[in-house]
Amino acid sequence: MSVPAQSDGATLTQDAAPGETLLKVTGLQKHFPIKKGLLQRQVGAVRAVDGLDFEVRSGETLGVVGESGCGKSTMGRLITRLLEPTAGTVEFEGKDITHLGVSGMRPLRRDVQMIFQDPYSSLNPRHTIGTIVGAPFRLQGVEPEGGVKKEVQRLLSVVGLNPEHYNRYPHEFSGGQRQRIGIARALALKPKLVVADEPVSALDVSIQAQVVNLLDDLQEELGLTYVIIAHDLSVVRHVSDRIAVMYLGKIVELADRDQLYRSPMHPYTKALLSAVPIPDPSRKSAKSERILLKGDVPSPISPPSGCRFHTRCWKATEICRTTEPPLKELRPGQQVACHHPENFADQAPQETVLLSDAKEAAELVPDAVLEESAETSAAVAEEVEAEGSAENRTEGSAESAAEGTTEAAEGTTEGSEESTEAAEGTTGAAEGTTEGSEQSAQAAGESAEAAGTGAAEESAEAAGTGAAATAETATTDESPAKEK
């Protein structure tokens, strides 16, 4: 299918090449104030989104999963700027759109479109399909080649609807067809980024598959970039390239699809995956694999201190209660915010005493899972030890550098050195620091990133010691690497 060029190309910018960053989000927050009393004084805030960092690359599909109330829909509304962020920045194609006003956003509305969850409430019942799908042209003052009507009919046929239904009203269509109308409307202006908030959850299974396939095809044909927000983990796996798992306003894990599903590292991800009922009756008795979480998600008005998952986690220790784990790349393409990740070396091995909450939670976790997780962690640790023995001195120096900072910094730095990428990493780090011998925080950050962990930077941040400590860590890395 070819898309006819639009006559009005006033805001046409250079399309981002596939793989380039299309949308970049840093420290994004949204707090909804809670007001009380006659004077409507603010007494608190619902911290719906509380510090998100991620980017969306051109041409990919980023899936966002999490339980209800974790802030995933708010996130979707923030990046489409239907809501004003409380803090942080949203950059679209390098342009800061965080606080653009209505008129400032208007040209961008063409490039960023949204598909809504409920196909019943997102279409105006008094408008015909033609008016609904043609509205974007009218609002943006675009005159498509051959006229609006022709273009709308073409869009209808693209999404698999009969173009002759141009004059019908939404109530004459079924749920699946309505969702297609919503998709046609979103595609009218040939957007670059489409944010779909639960696009299939209101649909029947057989229709769900039709819409999922349609989204797939459209992405291929039009080179769209999607952010798909959903709670159904099997649908998200099917459509996404990368997946972000959210819990109480934070991303706890962000990873490539296959990595995430094969070896989830955050305990919450693991629990979430194990909770999905598998349509295979022979596994009915395989209850042993299921991790039950105790209780409910805590309130986002007063989220738990430290790691927000510690109240329901079976691995939580004191550090989880006191220190918030930073989101860092432990494996290439897999960012995790956890002190005690699954399927990986422990990030805070000195912490062994479980919280009482964790002991309770562990009772709900089948023994088989605990054993298996201990095994994999041990295996990873061994592997790391074998590979990392050459770097023993590096490790030592890194530790000494981190001395004096808090436990968190120590734990994470150590973890970063232990990582399997340590060998290449150190060389990278050395390069990084020699280049940036001014020892700017940025150079240190770069080197740390090159080490495949980004830990040095973040651990320092967590410790609150700032860039100086990071630079120091990185410099100490330099010497043994050079010797090598």
Partner 1 sequence: MTELSKSGAAVGEPTSTSPAPSAFLEVRDLKVHFPTDDGLVKSVDGLSFQLERGKTLGIVGESGSGKSVTSLGIMGLHTAGQYGKRKARISGEIWLNGTELLSADPDEVRKLRGREMAMIFQDPLSALHPYYTIGQQIVEAYRIHHDVDKKTAKRRAVEMLDRVGIPQPDKRVDNYPHEFSGGMRQRAMIAMSLVNNPELLIADEPTTALDVTVQAQILDLIRDLQKEFGSAVIIITHDLGVVAELADDLLVMYGGRCVERGPAEKVFYEPRHPYTWGLLGSMPRLDRDQQERLIPVKGSPPSLINVPSGCAFNPRCPYADVPKDNVTRTVRPELTEVGDEHWAACHMSQEQRERIWTEEIAPKL
Binding partner 1 (rule: CB under 8 A), the pick from 39, 103, 284, 483 is 284
386 lies in the binding site for partner 1 (CB under 8 A): no
Q: Which of 162, 213, 352, 400 binds partner 1 (CB under 8 A)?
A: 213
On the CB side of 147, CA atoms within 13 Å amount to: 4
Regarding 271 and contact with partner 1 (CB under 8 A), the answer is: yes
Residue nearer to partner 1 on the CB measure, 24 or 237: 237
Task: Say how far apart CA 388 and CA 453 lie, in whole Å.
Answer: 15
Q: Does 280 bind partner 1 (CB under 8 A)?
A: yes
Torsion of CA 375, 378, 380, 383, to 10 degrees: -120
Options 278-286, 411-419, 434-442, 453-461: segment touching partner 1 (CB under 8 A)? 278-286
Is residue 459 involved in binding partner 1 (CB under 8 A)?
Answer: no
Name residue, tokens 């649909």.
203
Q: Locate tokens 């640790």: which residue?
A: 381
Instruction: Indicate whether 287 belongs to the interface with partner 1 (CB under 8 A).
Output: yes
Closer residue to partner 1 in complex, CB, 91/256: 256
Which residue in the set 120, 166, 169, 261 belongs to the binding site for partner 1 (CB under 8 A)?
261
How many amino acids of this chain bind partner 1 (CB under 8 A)? 44
Instruction: Out of 73, 153, 177, 475, point to the residue binding partner 1 (CB under 8 A).
Output: 177
- The one among 34, 276, 368, 374 contacting partner 1 by CB under 8 A: 276
List strands edge to edge, sheet with 250-256. Answer: 112-115, 193-197, 225-229, 61-65, 242-247, 250-256, 334-336, 328-331
**Per CB under 8 A, which region of 7-15, 228-236, 373-381, 448-456 contacts partner 1?**
228-236
CB of 208 to partner 1, least distance (A): 6
Figure out which of the listed residues 15, 53, 55, 67 binds partner 1, where binding follows CB under 8 A.
67
Q: How far is the CB of 190 from partner 1 (least distance, A)?
A: 24
Exposure of 300 by Cβ count < 10 A (0-12 exposed, 13-18 middle, 19+ buried)? Answer: buried
- 427 is written with which tokens? 């060389």
CB of 473 to partner 1, least distance (A): 38
Closer residue to partner 1 (CB): 115 or 271 = 271
For the bound state, the minimum distance from the C-beta of residue 328 to partner 1, rounded and expressed in Å, comes to: 25
* Min CB(47)–partner 1 separation in Å: 18
Nearer to partner 1, 137 or 226 (CB): 226
| C-alpha distances out from residue 458 to 245, 437, 462, 477, Å | 20, 20, 6, 16
Give pairs for 374-380: CB < 8 Å, separation 24+. 376/263, 376/342, 376/343, 377/342, 377/343, 377/344, 377/345, 377/346, 380/343, 380/344, 380/345
Joined together, the tokens standing for residue 440 give 């700017």
> Greatest CA separation found in the chain?
76
Compute the least distance from the CB of residue 302 to partner 1, in Å.
15
For 235-289, the DSSP string reads HHHHH-SEEEEEETTEEEEEEEHHHHHHS--SHHHHHHHHHSPPS-GGGTTGGGG
Task: Give me the least distance between CB of 25 and partner 1, in Å please.
Answer: 24
For residues 83 and 149, give the distance between their C-alpha atoms in angstroms, rounded to a whole number: 32
Q: Which is nearer to partner 1, 296 or 483 (CB)?
A: 296
- Are 433 and 456 in contact by the 8 Å Cβ rule? The answer is no
Tokens representing residue 451 in the block: 């080490």
Among 35, 41, 99, 283, binds partner 1 (CB under 8 A): 283
Quick one: which of 87, 135, 212, 370 contacts partner 1 (CB under 8 A)? 212
Is 301 one of the binding residues for partner 1 (CB under 8 A)?
no
**Residue 275 binds to partner 1 (criterion: CB under 8 A):** yes
Of 300 and 326, the one with the shorter C-beta distance to partner 1 is 300
Instruction: Determine contact, residues 384/394, Cβ cutoff 8 Å.
Output: no
- The distance of closest approach from Cβ of residue 274 to partner 1 in the complex, given in angstroms and rounded to an integer, is 8
Binding partner 1 (rule: CB under 8 A), the pick from 131, 290, 318, 321 is: 290
Q: How far apart are CA 414 and CA 467, in angstroms?
A: 18
Q: Which is nearer to partner 1, 84 or 220 (CB)?
A: 220
Residue 478's H or E segment, with its range, is: helix 467-483
Strand partners, 46: 32
Query: What would the x/- binding string for partner 1 be over residues 92 to 131, using CB under 8 A?
Result: ----------------------------------------
Q: Does 231 bind partner 1 (CB under 8 A)?
A: yes
Which amino acid does the sequence have at 193? Answer: L
Cα 199 to Cα 72, 157, 178, 193, 210, distances in angstroms: 13, 19, 11, 15, 12
Q: Which residues bind partner 1 (CB under 8 A)?
A: 67-68, 174, 176-177, 204-210, 212-213, 216, 231, 233-235, 237-238, 257-258, 261, 271-284, 287, 290, 292-293, 295-296
